[in-house]
Structure 1
Amino acid sequence: MLRGDEQISQFTQPANSVNNGNDYTTSWDITVDDSIRTWSKDTRTTITVSYAVPAQTNGPCAVPDPLGQVDCSGSFRMYYSDEGGEPGDVYANFPIYVSITDPDSNLGKTSLGPMFFIIPFLAVTLLLGWISYREEWMTGEISEEKEPFDINTWASNSVEKINPLIWVPSSIELTRNSSKEWRKGGDLTSNKTRRIVTLCIMYFAQGLPWGFASVVFAAYLVDNGTSAAEIATLFATVALPWTFKWIWGPVVDAVFIEKYGPRRQWILFAQTGMALSLGSLMFIPDLNGQIELVTRILFVHNIFASLQDVATDALAVEILQPDEVAKVNGFMFAAKRGGIIVGGAALGVLITKIGITGVIAAQLALLLLIVFIPLTLREKPGVKLFPWSKVDAILVDTENNEAINEEEEESLTPWADEAEFRVAKNVGYNVSATNVSITAFFVITGLCIWFIGFAVDVFTIDWKVGAVFSSFTSPIAYISLGLALLLFLIQLVMKNSDDESNESKLPEITNPFSILSIGSRNTVARTSFYLVKAFSIKSALLLIGLCLLSELYVFVIPITFDIFVNDAGWSPAKYSGIVGGIVVFGGMFGQIFGGLLGDRYGTRRVAMVGFLALALANATLAFLEPLWTRTTLMTIFLIIQAFIAGIAWICIISLSMRLTWSKVGGTQFTAYMSLFNLSGVFAYGLTARMISIFDYSSAIYVGAVLTMITVIMLIFIDETETDRVLEGRILDDEEWVEEDPDTDLGERPEWWTAEDLEPSTS
């Protein structure tokens, strides 16, 4: 056996020296080592067989269609053919697996050894140890409000909770009471069971398409020949709407028909769009051959999915009571994970029985079924389900309304009393004023034009209309911003000039926002003021950088698809069942455990340790390269990796909630999440470039090193700064002690004031 000019193995068996010259079946034992295990794609491998007489098998295993009764399975087979001349030729079929890590298959690529990861890992570990020593992680006293951890008490409570004699009757009673309350009816604000179940189902609907797209559909495409680079493009495209979902926040808040429920109508619109876009995939005969069209459709599908996410979060903020926010958000998160499991594992198993079209139809049926939940439930008192529906009478307390209006009037211009955050104050004044300086005019105009052009370009993907429209808007926006910068410098020079005659202000012109009503303009001004003020503190600014850098390592994810489906030989159904099933459970338990750890030891501390451990877990995939074909071992690895990632990411999300100001909770927190998504989109765009430079193992090491950036960024972030500076819940000489783990927006009951609990009349 030769690989190019190199002889790898040799086996000699004269045909007429055994069995009296009759047909003889023999075995060729080839040692599988590093030289024989893999070949590069373009290397010619030759098997030379010499016989004294033409050799034949018991039956022809001709390529490509062997006889039905002939067993042509196995790794190696020979067959005789008389089509190649006299006295005949012997052909051999030997499956050659191209290794993605073999040096010969990565000619011209950079190969990095494990030391590329080990050295920075040890350096960051020492740095983290020094930080823990300086901040006294191990010697810090436990708060008086938290009881010291006792293993005996914990074990006793755990045994009691898992005792069927205790939890089974409690579960039955809880189910009975919940069913009874559901049948009572009423709107979501007055029926606890209905609002919890509704929100959980909405989050389940969000997880369902993501599990399908990221596990089942991706594995299907890889199995049908789609490259890792194309998968990366698909991932980057479908994740793009989630990156810019903050666009929907102001739209959902401002555009609605009050009598039909402000949130419910957006949820119905988004779910209908999700169903229609997903159903259109069933009319594409060759999903793999028309990957560009499929990518566009999934992009539109995720536009509606991101819209539903924002509308559902807004609904949750509106209908949840202060004392149930944390608990219900835990249920909602678990429901979303359940949707991912169903979309990834359950549908992945069905694909072998009903095909990809059948799986899409099954998911479509589930989405249409979920639509009936918001369609038949009232959001709050006074809203109508349909135009012909009756509305219950609502009693209004005139005196309370007057008091509310007075309070609202006092808070219409919060920037007027602002003394510390000057930038936020100027933003509030300039957005709300009828006339603004010419500098502010060009700033507002430039940003609005850029935003409109950018939005059109993003949401038309790569269609020409978006590029053409952006080609006009971008130069205008840049010119406006450039003029604003020039005028600002002129104004600065005039202000600092000793000549008093130059102290006159630049002329004022009409505010571009003056086309809005006074109420709408003040609403935009308040939101802008609060948002700028929220991002003005140091830790919030640093968190922006962390969000943009924390997911750079995910460019490795498309590579893992190729590793497990092609190199390790996992079938799409097997991959979907493992990664979309048991691995998701590992991540879920990691998030639950991470929340408990973050509550006890602090989200920042646990996140730092968690991301350092995640970096090691990511690098371990490259360490285990010789064992990639060991299904059991790799399954255990994936579960552990997901568990660690769950711990790290739940604490980062909780930290983001801690650094979110309640005045702009939805907008600021959504902005953080959008920046996380933007980081992932950028990382997926790096995949093709990375695999063109590095071999797969080296690319994995690079991803593991990038994982540790988050650890370094967290060193400079103070998780209590927003609570201390903006919320006023912590004095400078006090230490924050979390009572409950942060979940959605971190709005625990003690955060709510009487003003927050009053209904809005705007």
Structure 2
Amino acid sequence: MNLLKTKTGRLAAFGGLYMSEGLPQGFAGVALALEFKRRGMDAAALGTFAATIMLPWTWKFIMGPFVDNLHIRRFGARKQWIVFAQVGMLACLAFALMRMPEFTAAGAVGLGLFTTLMVLHNVFAATQDVAIDALACSVLKKEERGLANGLMFGCAQAGNAIGGSGVLFIKDLTGSFGTASLLVPFLLLAILACTITMICEKSAAREMAEGEMPAPEPGDTGMRAAVDQIRDYAITVGKTIFGTRRGFLGFALAILPFGGMALSMTVSTVIAPSLGMDDSELAKLNLVGTLFWVPACLSGGWFSDRFGRRLSVATFSILSVLPGLWMGYQLRRLGWDHPPEGVDGVWPRQDQLIGYWWIATIIFSVFNGLMYGVRAAFFMDIVNPKIAGTHFTALMAMLNLVTAYTYFWQGQALDTGAWNWTLWQIFLVDTLLGLVFLAIIPFVQPKQIHLDEA
């Protein structure tokens, strides 16, 4: 059976492949982060951990030239990289789960090794993402791409929910995080088996023979071609960003957050369990938030097609800061200035405050989803058409960098041993940072740019 032979099969194949990307992200960002918090990891360490394991996604574009040029010719050019990456993801995650750090009064024992393994896991995950996109470009028909991309994105979010909420639900039932965490490698193994047996791609040698893929020049090696492409990539992107006004402004936008982020990152991981919510409640909240986020994201593009990219992304971003600002005010009004310290530190459970957290999180999920549905399209509109793929990839990498440094600064701000900000101050700064882009976006026209623009 070859899923790539039919439209339904292709949609199922890429949906499953993208789910394999969302599973470990939801596990690390929700279930694992919450478990570390419950075991006593402080906010600064938690933020640093989350930021560190995100870093491979900021330079995944480096893997593109290797995926394009290094192949074992008897196998499919993209499939071999997907299988290689999935095996690497699975091995690193399985080994990491066997080497979970132990938290003591003196600190976390084994956290360095665990973090290294999770970074390597994400190196493989980012490589897989590049290979999946390359396969999609080669096998999806033009009339399928819109539906396929929407499905792929939705399946990634479904994987995120399973890796986060699914693990938390199982932990609540079994009482064991170790048992619950086996869900993720088990599903990754199932997807790997389906990839090997149900996705059949032409061999690299056959594609070269049929002219569907360029063959290497005589005497040239795939490694040399990859290195040359990386060098050319850096030069081309550098000229675009620093040699044109619109290119530089687009880069400035890409390294800034669009709207609030506190309700979805380190602040959320630290505060939510401190409110007294158990794992089952947090799993439900994450799941419901995802169910609101996905259709909102799909709707964002529809709005931008009718009302314009800049207006839509700016409006949704502004709206996304309001739930966090409101939640920060409620915490301040009720006297909750800092999260409690210690493994078992929780505030006295207050249903009214937990209700506020639910309201803020769901409303944020809607506005943040709407913004995400527009932002990528906005950057597509402003990239240099001569190097559209290269330029766009660089900007998307910077968006991942925003996620990494936001994890870091929020962790430092929450920690009483570091910056020791109040929760109101953190939500306020998150709001202000989320609105800085408004000073730049009016000067960036959503139209194609050229290298000779000044």
Normalising to structure 1: TM-score of the pair? Answer: 0.51
Aligned to 1:343: 163
Tell me whether 1:622 sits opposite 2:349 in the alignment. Answer: no
Q: Name 2:399's counterpart in structure 1.
A: 676
Q: Following the alignment from structure 1 to structure 2, what is the Cα–Cα distance between the partners of residues 561 and 197?
A: 33
Of 291, 307, 310, the residue aligned with 1:601 is 307
TM-score for both structures, normalised by structure 2:
0.83
Quick check: 2:33–2:46 contact (8 Å CA) kept in 1?
Answer: yes
Per the alignment, residue 644 of structure 1 pairs with 367
Partner SS for 1:260 = coil
- The answer as to whether partners of 2:74 and 2:203 remain within 8 angstroms in 1 is yes
SS in 2 for 1:282: helix
Q: Give the alignment partner of residue 292 of structure 1, picking from 98, 109, 112.
A: 112
CA gap 1:276/1:521 in 2 versus in 1, 3 angstroms: closer
Cα distance in 1 for partners of 2:72, 2:94 equals 28
Q: Of the two structures, which has the highest relative contact order with CA contacts closer than 8 Å and spacing of 6 or more?
A: 2
Equivalent runs, 1:121-520 vs 2, <5 Å: 185-186=1-2, 188=4, 190-284=5-99, 286-288=101-103, 289-290=108-109, 291-354=111-174, 355-382=176-203
- For the structure 1 residues 225 and 520, does the alpha-carbon distance in structure 2 shift closer, same or farther, using more than 3 Å as the test? closer
- Distance change in 2, residues 1:251/1:521 (3 Å): closer
CA contact (8 A) 2:260 2:317 kept: no
Measured on the aligned residues, the alpha-carbon RMSD in Å equals 3.1
Name the residue aligned to 1:709.
436
Residue type of the partner of 1:348?
L
CA deviations over 1:260-306 (Å, ceiling 9, x no partner): 11111111111101111111133236554433332222212111111
State the Cα deviation string for residues 622-661 of structure 1 (Å, max 9, x = none): 1221567423332122110111111122211111122345
Correspondence for 1:91: none
Deviation at 1:328, TM superposition (A): 0.9
Q: Residue 619 of structure 1 aligns to a residue in which SS?
A: helix
The aligned residue for residue 295 of structure 2 is 589
Where structure 1 has 5 or more consecutive residues not aligned to the other structure, the ranges are 1-184, 385-390, 409-513, 727-762
Residue 656 of structure 1 corresponds to 379
Give the AA of the match of 1:719: P
Report Cα offsets for 1:571-619 as digits up to 9, x if no partner: 233213212x001112112212211111111121101111111122221
CA distance in 1, matches of 2:208, 2:49: 50
State the secondary structure of the residue aligned to 2:255: helix
* 2:116 partner amino acid: R
- Greater displacement, 205-214 / 625-634: 625-634
> Matched residue of 1:239: which SS?
helix
Q: Does the CA-based 8 Å contact 1:381-1:394 persist in structure 2?
A: no
Does the CA-based 8 Å contact 1:344-1:576 persist in structure 2?
Answer: yes
What's the counterpart of residue 564 of structure 1?
272
- Helix, strand or coil at the partner of 1:721: coil
* Higher CA-based Rg: 1
- Give the superposition deviation at 1:378: 4.8
Say whether residues 1:577 and 2:301 are aligned partners.
Answer: no
Q: In the alignment, is the contact (CA less than 8 A) between 1:239 and 1:302 conserved in 2?
A: yes
Structure 2 gap ranges (5+)? 215-219, 335-349
Instruction: For 2:240 and 2:27, locate their aligned partners in 1 and report how far apart those are by CA, in whole Å.
Output: 36
Structure 2 match to 1:114: none
Return the offset for 1:717: 0.9
Q: How many residues align?
A: 417
Which residue of 244, 247, 257 corresponds with 1:550? 257
Tell me, in whole angstroms, the C-alpha distance in 1 between the residues paired with 2:278 and 2:381.
43
- Amino acid of the structure 1 residue aligned with 2:256: L
- Classify 1:257/1:593 alpha carbon distance in 2 versus 1 (closer, same or farther; 3 Å): same
Check the 8 A contact 2:267/2:411 in 1, yes or no.
no
Q: Report the equivalent of 1:466.
A: none
Code of the residue aligned with 1:703 in structure 2: it is D
**Residues 3 and 12 of structure 2 are in contact (CA less than 8 Å); yes or no, is this contact kept in structure 1?**
no
